[in-house]
Amino acid sequence: MKVVVLTGAGISAESGVPTFRDADGLWEGHRVEDVATPEAYDVQPTVVHRFYDDRRRALGRVAPNPAHLALARLEEGIGDDLLVITQNIDDLHERAGSTRVLHMHGELRSALCRACMRRTPWTGDLGDFPPCPGCGVTELRPDVVWFGEMPYEMDRIFVALDQADLFVAIGTSGAVYPAAGFVQFASGAGARTLELNLAPSEVTGLFDDARQGLAGELVPRWVDELLG
């Protein structure tokens, strides 16, 4: 059975990483359009860098929770038949042990050069405008997909959704496309669909089944059932 899992901010909430839409539409005190658009970066790159530099540093203070660990355990059990697509820019899936992970919205621990387009693993700050290790130009930006930009890996994602027998969305509000449309695509291609989320999302009605609760409890239970 081929399983495709889509994760969102809710799976990292119990690790202490703030979600996007649970705090008055603010993201750590910022309006999303002030820090997560190419226009914001053009107007005030220092503010945008400080925001992502803080979040990158914060990764050192958080750890994977039982939901991330359960997905790693599922990969141990079914190997290549599992693909995790995450909208998250943290690295908690990898630190839990998952290897088959696509970061459709990019990664905090990566820098993108606007001059040569090279992506470089990055754990330090970008706000001091370091040179690109590839071309030497000081045009490194956070390697995250901002509003108005094309998500990564869409070709591989749609192939996987097309072949999936089971599609499971975990901890995502269903507010941001294209990810919010994956359930319809997978369902149309013949997959069964399941949502695991704290509260009903904007697309709960499109799933065959939905369970509400904490990801740290729901995901390990669901993985136990599947590996049964």
The catalytic residue positions are 105
Q: Give 101's contacts (C-beta < 8 A, 6+ positions apart).
A: 84, 85, 86, 93, 94
> To the nearest 10°, the Cα dihedral for 156, 162, 165, 171?
60
- What is the DSSP-derived secondary structure letter of residue 195? E
Nearest to 208 by CA among 195, 227, 225, 223: 195
Query: How near is the Cβ of 7 to ligand APR at its closest, in Å?
Result: 8
Residue 177, judged by CB atoms within 10 A of its CB (0-12, 13-18, 19+), counts as exposed
Give yes or no for residue 110 binding ligand APR (CB under 6 A).
Answer: no
Nearest to 140 by CA among 152, 121, 126: 126
Q: Give 44's contacts (C-beta < 8 A, 6+ positions apart).
A: 34
Q: Which one, 122 or 182, has the nearer CB to ligand APR? A: 182
Sheet of 166-170, strands arranged across: 101-103, 82-86, 3-7, 166-170, 192-197, 209-212
Q: Which stretch binds ligand APR (CB under 6 A): 44-52, 122-130, 171-179, 182-190?
A: 171-179
Please answer whether residues 122 and 110 qualify as being in contact, where contact means their C-beta atoms are separated by less than 8 angstroms: yes
Among 62, 189, 214, 226, binds ligand APR (CB under 6 A): 214
Q: Which stretch binds ligand APR (CB under 6 A): 15-23, 40-48, 114-122, 160-168?
A: 15-23
Cα separation, 189 vs 186, whole angstroms: 5
Q: Which one, 9 or 132, has the nearer CB to ligand APR? A: 9
Give yes or no for residue 95 binding ligand APR (CB under 6 A).
Answer: no
Q: Which stretch binds ligand APR (CB under 6 A): 113-121, 125-133, 157-165, 173-181?
A: 173-181
Total site size for ligand APR, rule CB under 6 A = 23
Q: Which one, 83 or 144, has the nearer CB to ligand APR? A: 144
Give yes or no for residue 105 binding ligand APR (CB under 6 A).
Answer: yes
Give yes or no for residue 227 binding ligand APR (CB under 6 A).
Answer: no
Give yes or no for residue 203 binding ligand APR (CB under 6 A).
Answer: no
Q: Interface residues with ligand APR (CB under 6 A)?
A: 8-10, 13-14, 19-22, 32, 87, 105, 171-173, 175-176, 197-199, 201, 214-215
